[in-house]
Amino acid sequence: MTVLSEKWPVLGRHERAGEWLQIWSDLGRSPRTIDAYARGLGEFLLACERDGVDPESANRSHIAAFVRELRTRPSSGGSNVLALDSGAGLSNAALQQRLVPVRLFFDFLVEEGVRQSNPVGRGRYTPGRAVGGTARGLVPRMVKLPWIPAEAEWLQVLEVFRAEPVRNRLMLAWAYDSALRREELCSLRTDDIDPAHRTLRVGAETTKTRQERVVPYSASTGVLLGEYLRHRASLSRARGPLFLSESRHNTAQPLTLWTWSKVVRRIVLEAGVPRFSTHTTRHLCLTDLARMGWEVHAIASFAGHRSTESTLRYINPRELHQTGEKLQVAWSLGEAEPVRRVYGLAS
């Protein structure tokens, strides 16, 4: 917890907070999860110190004041913010993210007998209520449809990607072909690939649901893979992380999530499609599978979702009913070809 205390000194001033974060770390939560918990709880503790409130005895009015501050806080993103749905400087998702560690911290205090109740509300079952009897949480959760690029926008992105090094072209093709999340893509290892059957293994340790899965990729992506492996050999012949950095500062080191995000951001701005992100290819692939007639259960299995409810949130129903241009290539389970054209990325 030393690094987190340096980043958030307020955590070092509250013994219970440090103890709570250490428990989550000892239980094996990822460093990124611990960092997000530290940020949310740290901001709450700072608000308590500023208002002269003992966080261990904070009540619902203190939580409401914290939420009000989050809602009215100016956005640090400035002109880079594309859309806000909270009515202020933080998106609804960011508000939820800040409140989760605060709620879990108070759960911990209740379990330890420090206090009797948790002042942070959550959705809960209430007998007599309609449709499942679920009460609304402290901050209503907004579930938005994913943004899906139009065919012309997708082709604009592909056009810019075609001039990129083979590593970046392969990563985009795989992100779409196999509906990979950013961490799943960047964490691929050399022994996860089965070129003979054109499949790759997505390790349980890299997925959100901690469920391993095997997914196919297209023949054209296989061509890119062969080209990249020949190039990778000039950087390193060692087995391990598949995608390597080519920066002069850390040549042949594993490619980080942030580097891939920066690559995609640079390219989509050049393409004039700023809403495109590292997760867009996943939304796009799952929507295209639904367009081609796949059943929701099959798409859920392909995506690695625990339930079809998650899958339905990923699939944009408005897109399913658009006529638009015909897709370039029909999906075939036997051939594992992509729904949308990514050919042309191979040189």
Tokens in use for 179? 């509906």
Give the Cα separation of 258 and 137 in Å (integer).
Answer: 32
**For residues 274 and 333, what is the distance between their CA atoms, to the nearest angstrom?**
33
β-bridge mates for residue 241, sequence order: 189
pLDDT at 338: 42
Q: Are 16 and 73 in a shared domain?
A: yes
Question: Does the residue 79 lie in any domain?
Answer: yes
3-class DSSP assignment, residue 187: coil
Q: Are residues 60 and 172 in the same domain?
A: no
State the angle between helix axes of 280-291 and 166-177 in degrees (0 to 180), rounded to the nearest 10: 40
**Dist. CA 197–CA 174, nearest whole Å:** 15
19 assigned to some structural domain? yes
Q: What are the CA-CA distances from residue 95 to residues 36, 44, 106 (Å)? A: 12, 12, 17
Look at residues 98, 133, 168 and tell me which one is the last residue of a structural domain.
133
pLDDT at residue number 312 = 77
Report the CATH number at residue 189: 1.10.443.10
Distance CA 102, CA 119 (A): 10
Domain hosting residue 124, numbered range: 2-133
Query: Are residues 120 and 244 located together in one domain of the fold?
Result: no
Is position 333 within any domain? no
Q: Under a CB-based contact definition with an 8 Å cutoff, are residues 267 and 280 in contact? A: no
Does 144 reside within a domain? Answer: no
Distance between CA atoms of residues 7 and 39, nearest Å? 9
To which residue do tokens 């503790």 refer?
A: 45
Same domain membership, residue 111 and residue 238? no
In a domain, 330, yes or no: no
Residue 77 lies in a domain: yes
Is 140 inside a domain boundary? no
Which pLDDT tens digits describe the chain residue by residue (347 residues)? 555 667 788 888 999 999 999 999 888 888 888 888 999 999 999 999 999 999 999 999 999 999 888 888 765 554 444 444 444 557 777 888 889 999 999 999 999 999 999 998 765 444 444 444 445 566 666 666 778 888 889 989 999 999 999 999 999 999 999 999 999 999 999 999 999 999 999 998 888 878 899 998 888 899 999 999 999 999 999 999 999 999 888 888 999 999 999 999 999 999 999 999 999 999 888 888 887 778 888 888 888 888 777 777 766 555 544 433 333 333 333 333 444 555 567 66
Whether residues 105 and 215 share a domain: the answer is no
Confidence (pTM): 0.70
The upper half-sphere exposure of residue 314, i.e. CA atoms within 13 Å in the direction of its Cβ, equals 27
Q: Indicate whether 35 and 155 sit together in one domain.
A: no
Asked if residue 55 and residue 19 are part of one domain, the reply reads yes
Q: Would you state the pLDDT for residue 137?
A: 61
Is residue 74, in this structure, part of any structural domain at all? Answer: yes
Q: What is the pLDDT of residue 166?
A: 94
Q: How far is it, in rounded angstroms, from Cα 336 to Cα 222?
A: 11
Type of residue at 293: G
DSSP label of 272 = T
3 state SS of 263: helix
Greatest distance between any 2 Cα atoms in the chain: 66
Same domain (yes/no): 25, 97:
yes
Dist CA 59 CA 219 (whole Å): 59
Sequence-distant (≥ 6) Cβ neighbours of residue 52 within 8 angstroms: none
129 and 155 share one domain: no
Measured CA to CA, the distance from residue 10 to residue 198 in angstroms comes to 50
Length of the chain: 347
Cβ partners under 8 Å of residue 112, min gap 6:
16
Residues 157, 294, single domain; the answer is yes
Question: pLDDT digits over 148-189, tens only?
Answer: 888 889 989 999 999 999 999 999 999 999 999 999 999 999
Please indicate, yes or no, whether residues 81 and 125 belong to a single structural domain of this protein: yes
Structurally, the chain folds into a number of domains equal to: 2
